[in-house]
Amino acid sequence: MTTASARLAQFVVSASLTHAPEAARAQVRRAALDSIGVMLAGASEPVAKITRTVARIEGGAPLCTVVGSALRTSPTWAALCNGAAGHAHDFDDTSFALLGHPSVPLLATAFASAEAEAGDGAAVMLAYLIGFEVSAALGIALNPGHYTRGWHATATLGTIGCTAAAARLHGLDVPRTTHALGIAASLASGLKENFGSMTKPYHAGHAALNAVTAVALARAGMTASAGALDGSQGFAAAFSGEKLTPGAFDELGREWQILASGIAVKPYPSCALTHSAIDALIELRARHGIRVEQVEDVEVGVNHVVPEVLRHPVPTNALERKFSMPYCAAAALAQGRVGIDDFFDGPEAPAIAALVPRVRMVVDPTLPDRLEQHAWTGVIVRLAGGRTRAERARGAAGHPDMPLSDGQLRDKFLGCAAGVLSRGDAEAIADQIMHIDAVPDIRALTARLVTRSE
């Protein structure tokens, strides 16, 4: 019987860009623009600086670009540094099939692998598609049980998907790809308990690092169990308590999850589970002219999975605030916007501080419970004098059914790049990214994503 690892390996080796519809390729271009933007924005964050410091100490052949810096290093360290930077603001896209962040780890892996192999943009696009489809298929098979057990799917399922991407870029055959996936199954890790700390953004780099490492080891001849994913003591059993059914991967290459389940692009740099409430409160504030002093109470109804993720009702620093519904809701209602500059260490702005204690997050058992609806929230704002303003439960801007326009996505990229690149350079790079599959050598793109000094 064909094992899960072997089935995935066959898909990795046989997939072709010609099999992918243009709509799927368009999604990759958008994902690359968004991901490179957030890598540039995150390059100055503490977690990114720390990973670069360790990379310099450890050393490595200067083959690959560390985005937003002057550092060149080995593929493994570049994958780690770029992945951590890209997730530093929690501003990168999400997948409701994966229940995690697909694009930053995949592109951190793909850029490092493609630079090492002098690969072109089309190879990067195909590797991304392969990795996304593998990650999504695993997510559909194992979530929500995997996620609710405490695993951060970005780092766990993402490690397997990133390994699939790297295996294709490095030209592994089916047997060595099977071994690489088995090695990756033992490397995969990442705990939701670390949400609100630097280790959470590290997870995205960890998935990319694991993938590049697993492929390098398999390429050199290391072996792994063929049942590492679906064996009785394999990945699925250990990480979710579930079995991978024989047909779990039958739709790979037939139905493209990048289109079916889609990608959610973030308009706000906070946990995706805060975005529906942020949208609703910004709209209520504008529609009714709500002022902070009028607000007596804000109730945010959430899905049952949310409290274990938004774990910081009284946040004390920038990273905890990204995982705090009271803080994000208060910022939205107090200001009518939420941006990167709202997440900082130090005392909260007075208007936000006044609202945080008035925000309550409650589980609403009437909310729909499909994977893509876990992020839905309903909001009730109670005002002085007994008045109420409410918004029904719904998704958020940027979700697959309400995507950001190309113009909005480009504006996000330019805003993220502003601290690193000139406006003219950023505009030109955005144009190049939107034709990434025509780039003859990926280094023609990555060479433009650097600074001359730290």
Q: How many angstroms separate the CA atoms of 310 and 321, rounded?
A: 9
Q: Quick one: pLDDT at residue 242? A: 82
CB 178 within 8 A of CB 6: yes
In this structure, which amino acid lies at residue 421?
L
Residue 4 CB neighbours (<10 A): 30
- The full set of domains in the chain, from first to last, is 4-260 (1.10.4100.10), 272-394 (3.30.1330.120)
Q: Quick one: pLDDT at residue 203? A: 98
Give the DSSP letter string of 134-149.
HHHHHHHHHTTHHHHT
Q: Which whole-number Å values give the CA distances from 325 to 39, 53, 303, 352, in the listed order?
A: 25, 33, 13, 12
Give the global pTM. Answer: 0.95
CB 332 within 8 A of CB 277: yes
Q: How many angstroms separate the CA atoms of 153 and 99, rounded?
A: 6
In what order do the strands lie in the sheet containing 359-363? 359-363, 295-302, 377-383, 388-394
Give the DSSP letter string of 260-308.
HT--BPPSSSS-GGGHHHHHHHHHHHHHHT--GGGEEEEEEEE-TTSTT
Mean pLDDT by 10 residues, the chain (454 residues): 92 96 98 98 97 95 97 98 98 96 98 97 98 97 94 98 98 98 98 96 98 98 97 95 86 94 97 97 96 95 94 94 97 96 92 96 92 91 94 93 96 96 97 98 97 73
φ, ψ of residue 323 in degrees (nearest 5): -120, 35
Q: Which residues, including other chains, have CB under 8 Å from residue 95's CB and lie 6 or more apart?
A: 101, 102, 132, 135, 136, 139, 257, 261, 262, 263, 264
Residue 78 CB neighbours (<10 A): 33
Which H or E run contains 132?
helix 121-142
Q: Quick one: pLDDT at residue 454? A: 65
